[in-house]
Amino acid sequence: MTLKDEVCAAVDEEAAVLAELAARIHAAPELKFEEHRASAWLADFLEARGFAVERGAYGLPTAFAARIGSGEPRVAVLCEYDALPGVGHACGHNLIAAAGAGAGAALARVVGRSGGTVVVLGTPGEEGGGGKVMMARAGAFEGVDAAMMVHPAGDDLTSMRTLAVTEIEVVFHGRAAHASAAPQEGINALDALVLAYQAIAQLRQHIRSSERVHGIITDGGQAPNVVPERAAGLFYVRAATLAALAPLRERVLACFEAGARAAGASFEVRTIGEDYADMRDNPPLVEAWAENMSQLGRSVRHAPGRVTGSTDMGNVSHLVPSIHPMIAVAPPQVPLHSAEFAAWTNSAAAQRAILDGARALAMTALDVLTRPELRQVAWRELRKDEG
């Protein structure tokens, strides 16, 4: 029996526990940086399987770092476990958590013979918080030779189309007045925001197909008969790369300024969380993943398909060779971040995806640990991209 056979068998032995773990996280959704239960459950699971677990790692209370083995090379398997407001685990982070933990448990069985170190990182706040960016800044990926995770979707894909993103909060300030008795005395902050929103809508006609701007009004005033003295909105600005993001952000800021000038209001902006970089899936590691998935009977597509989003895994992929493949848990037409997708992340298909995801992660991690030529070419590709 090969090491890969052994890790697959080890995942099978953990099947019931992993299914229960994913279901428990699904039933108790926690928002970004509030994932105290999910983080503790995962840390307990890994600790019981021989990992040395650091809770509250890298300055984040709901992060953890679980390590087993010693020396080089080092491979990191990443878990996400935060949920979305209103729709819970509609991005399937409960499955990412279970698959990553399952891969770690399997690798713990063989790392003494494969050599090297396995690190399972609990990365909170992916949904707009930038937990991985903060962890990277604190040194989480120093000395790591490869980082990997698997994300649920409607298809088996080697990668996801991703965009760099920045999140901007804008607040307009006007002057309150009675909207009927003395409207001339007021400065309508909501008018400023609506004008800016409409300007952004016009801007969308003249941006690249790889760029996105979308937002919501979070404060539109308190009463219809009071001229709103404050209005606020939250906007995402996305582009193909961080370099392309900067000029688009300036165009959005110009829309805010135009709305403020037209209404006679003032405004202020602040960046929320961390900017996310585009994902750079490492081609040699992608090929290893695809080969391992084929051995499990899943035929993955190299085309990125219609999934387009942003992830803080993108920032990691600029630091170390990384992959962010997708695994099918729902029909292709079911959109992520929907209530329908949330239901699929607690289904029989989801349980199969946990096991196949854990197996393929463990097998690909073994490729990194046991094949020095793979590590060399993976780093060469990353440096070529960054160059």
What predicted TM-score, i.e. pTM, was given to this entire model?
0.93
Q: Is residue 373 packed enough to be buried (19+ CB in 10 Å), middle (13-18) or exposed (0-12)?
A: exposed
pLDDT tens sequence across 138-157? 999 999 999 999 999 999 99
CA atoms of 185 and 100, how far apart (whole Å): 59
Cα diameter, the chain: 85
What band does 304 get if pLDDT is binned at 50, 70 and 90? low
Per the DSSP assignment, residues forming a β-bridge with 175 are 187
pLDDT tens sequence across 36-87? 999 999 999 999 999 999 999 999 999 999 999 999 999 999 999 999 999 9
pLDDT tens sequence across 154-167? 999 999 889 999 99
Q: Which residue has the tokens 């793979």?
A: 374
Residue spans per domain, the chain? 3-162+279-386, 164-276
Domain 164-276 fold: Alpha-Beta Plaits (3.30.70)
Mean pLDDT to the nearest integer, 172-201: 98
Residue 16 confidence (pLDDT) above 70: yes
Smallest CA-to-CA distance from 170 within 111, 117, 234 is with: 234
The architecture that CATH gives domain 3-162+279-386 is 3-Layer(aba) Sandwich (3.40)
CA atoms of 110 and 360, how far apart (whole Å): 15
CA atoms of 165 and 296, how far apart (whole Å): 34
CA atoms of 47 and 67, how far apart (whole Å): 9
Torsion angles phi and psi, residue 147, rounded to 5: -125, 140
CA atoms of 312 and 297, how far apart (whole Å): 30
Helix (H) or strand (E) holding 120: strand 116-122
Residue 329 confidence (pLDDT) above 90: yes
pLDDT tens sequence across 290-301? 999 999 999 898
Q: Which residue has the tokens 């459950």?
A: 41
Q: Are 129 and 70 in contact (CB under 8 A)?
A: no
What band does 385 get if pLDDT is binned at 50, 70 and 90? confident
pLDDT score of 306: 56
Higher pLDDT, 90 or 384: 90
In whole numbers, what is the pLDDT of the chain averaged over residues?
Answer: 96
Q: Where are the alpha helices (DSSP H) in 48-177?
A: 93-108, 111-114, 131-137
CA atoms of 201 and 206, how far apart (whole Å): 10
DSSP state of 150: -
pLDDT score of 161: 85
CA atoms of 281 and 148, how far apart (whole Å): 10
| C-alpha dist (Å) from residue 84 to 26, 30, 90, 355, 376 | 11, 8, 7, 24, 38
Which amino acid is residue 177, in one-letter code? A
